[in-house]
Amino acid sequence: MRDHDVQPSMLTRRGVLGGMGIASLALLSAPASAQETVDLDVPGGPSMRMVTTSYPQKGRMILQRSSPPWLETPFEVFDQGVFTPNNQHYVSWHWANFPADIDVDSFRLNVRGQVNQILSLSLKDVLHGLPRVDIAAVNQCAGNSRIYAVPRVAGAQWADGSMSNAIWTGVRLKDVLDRAGVKAGAVQVRFGGLDDPAMEGAPKFLKSLTIDHARDREVMIAFAMNGEQLPLLNGFPLRLVVPGWCGVYWVKMLNDIEVLDHPDTNYWTATGYRVPDTPYNTVKPGETGFKMVPVTRNAPRSFITNIGNGDSVPAATPALARGIAFGGDCGVARVDLSIDGGKSWQPAQLGADHGTYGFRQWQTQFTLPAGGAHTLMVRCTNTKNVAQPGFRIWNPAGYMFNTIETTHVVAAKG
């Protein structure tokens, strides 16, 4: 059953190298053993990942899976600004069957189902026939930080880099739906892309939104990120952008919009991507008897980006902590830093607001009173007055983790 359909042209040395596991490295000759790796610092491992530059239009990325690609944004990128460069925006595909050859003249976006007028829009129609909008928004996988779940759970072993922020440019989904004319009785809108399952009978990747959400004027069809066309692996030529919601809804290579008069029953909408219907989606390992609901909105998160675990910080001297935060499904109200393991908190200064759903930079001075080990913590409170919790969130699939982050440092006498 192994897939023998891989095109010979893809089996380049580069491509094959990119797919090797860490364990294989020992078998390679000198040039390949110089391969850069990153330590994700996870108890129980495996902690080491290769850093790859082999994927088209992508720079240095952490290789979580060769195919279908899971490429994680290296964490140091988040210290360089609030907008993630396109060539380091994280990549995640469910199925490997997506085209690498896309002709912009023949591509069509179809709108069908419960509409008065079926549409087949060219990219020219999308770029020039509808009002254009921009929005800054974080695209975060629901499984971001899953590798740090305690106990560990199966799934993409993302560290903290399956999130990226961009200015998205495109057209409102509402304007496209209005052009087609949504019929009375429409309840959901289902989105599909050019990717197809590898197995016959397997569920094509589709996600749906309620008709009201689809027409909220924020959900958009993006044709540009940070002023440039989307990289292939981030969904060229069109991608759904659902501000404030998990990345799974942001359907890539979007070419099919179907207005439904009934709730979507496809696997990805009706069964996959479920969390416990409990506060913070958290349960105890082994606990049963809770209802499962779909992942939807992002939750507030914040990170220190200029100080890492194990770093040395001068004692009794003012130092700078800096990082990023996002409110989740709304803006950032405040970010607080603790240097005593969460006993007391000091407010951080917020950087420029580039948009409700984007990253917000923060910084503050702090002074560690004495030498030795210290614990830094950072907490975001969003504009709905929801703060990151101090307890460890856990659920069976490792979704929606937003516990306060902790950084262990050592204060050194100057």
Partner 1 sequence: MLRAVLPIVTVLGFALLAYPGEAASITTLKSLKLDVPTSDTMFPAGPESDAINNNCLACHSADHVLNQPSLSREAWQEVVNKMITAYKAPVSPDDAKAIVDYLVRTKGTS
32 lies in the binding site for partner 1 (CB under 8 A): no
Q: Is 39 in the site for partner 1 (CB under 8 A)?
A: yes
Q: Which two tokens stand for residue 68?
A: 């279908």
- The reply on whether position 203 binds partner 1 by CB under 8 A is yes
The answer to the question of residue 11 lying near partner 1 (CB under 8 A) is yes
Residues 154-193 that bind partner 1 (CB under 8 A): 154, 157, 167, 169
The one segment of 29-37, 92-100, 112-120, 207-215 that binds partner 1 by CB under 8 A: 92-100
CB of 123 to partner 1, least distance (A): 6
Q: Which stretch binds partner 1 (CB under 8 A): 82-90, 207-215, 332-340, 380-388?
A: 82-90
| Interface positions, 40-79, toward partner 1 (CB under 8 A) | 44-46, 49, 54-57, 63-70, 79
- Residue 392's SS3 state is coil
Shortest Å distance, C-beta 410 to partner 1? 8
Closest CB 403 distance from partner 1, rounded Å: 18
Q: Say whether residue 136 binds partner 1 (CB under 8 A).
A: yes
Q: Residue 365 CB, nearest distance to partner 1 (Å)?
A: 5
Instruction: Compute the least distance from the CB of residue 115 to partner 1, in Å.
Output: 25
Q: List the end-to-end C-alpha distance of the chain, in Å, as a whole number.
A: 63
Residue type, 14: R
Burial class of residue 306, CB neighbours in 10 A (0-12, 13-18, 19+)? middle
Q: Does 227 bind partner 1 (CB under 8 A)?
A: yes
Nearer to partner 1, 14 or 183 (CB): 14
CB of 82 to partner 1, least distance (A): 6
CA distance 401 to 66: 25
Residue bearing tokens 């799934």 = 155
Quote the CA–CA distance of 327 and 155 in Å, as a whole number: 25
User: In DSSP terms, which residues pair with 138 in a beta bridge?
Assistant: 165
Contact 332, 383 (CB under 8 A): yes
Is residue 408 at the binding interface for partner 1, with CB under 8 A as the rule? Answer: no
Q: Is 204 in the site for partner 1 (CB under 8 A)?
A: no
Among 173, 224, 260, 337, binds partner 1 (CB under 8 A): 224
How far apart, in whole angstroms, are the C-alpha atoms of residue 310 and residue 41?
A: 11
Counting contacts by CB under 8 A, is residue 141 touching partner 1? no
What are the structure tokens assigned to 5, written together? 């359909």
Q: Which of 78, 51, 278 is nearest to 160 (CA)?
A: 78
Binding residues for partner 1 restricted to 370-389, rule: CB under 8 A: none
Instruction: Kindly give the pairing relationship between strand 405-412 and strand 312-314.
Output: parallel
Tell me which amino acid residue 208 is.
Answer: S
Q: Are 173 and 240 in contact (CB under 8 A)?
A: yes
DSSP state of 315: B
Parallel/antiparallel/unpaired status of strands 372-382 and 360-366: unpaired
* CA of residue 30 relative to chain centroid, distance: 35
Which range touches partner 1 (CB under 8 A), out of 111-119, 210-218, 230-238, 335-343? Answer: 230-238
Nearest residue (CB) to partner 1, 200 versus 385? 200
Judged by DSSP in three states, 366 sits in: strand
Instruction: Select from 232, 240, 259, 260 the one that contacts partner 1 (CB under 8 A).
Output: 232
Q: Taking a C-beta distance cutoff of 8 angstroms, is the pair 302, 331 a contact? A: no
Residue whose CB is less far from partner 1, 314 or 389:
314
Chosen residue from 90, 191, 223, 249 binding partner 1 by CB under 8 A = 223
In the region spanning residues 301 to 360, those forming contacts with partner 1, defined by CB under 8 A, are 306-314, 317-320, 322, 351-352, 354
Q: Could you tell me the smallest distance in angstroms from the CB atom of residue 381 to partner 1?
A: 20
Cβ-in-10-Å burial (0-12, 13-18, 19+) of 19 comes to: middle
Which of 31, 131, 200, 291 is the binder for partner 1 (CB under 8 A)? 200
Give the DSSP H/E element, type plus range, for residue 334.
strand 332-338
One of 28, 32, 118, 198 touching partner 1 (CB under 8 A): 198
Q: Minimal distance in Å, beta carbon 259 to partner 1? A: 26
If you search the block for the tokens 């998990």, which residue do you land on?
246
Residues 6+ apart with CB under 8 A from 124: none
CA separation for the pair 374, 409 (Å, rounded): 5
Residues 268-297, mask of contacts with partner 1 (x by CB under 8 A): ---xx-------------------------
255 binds partner 1 (CB under 8 A): no
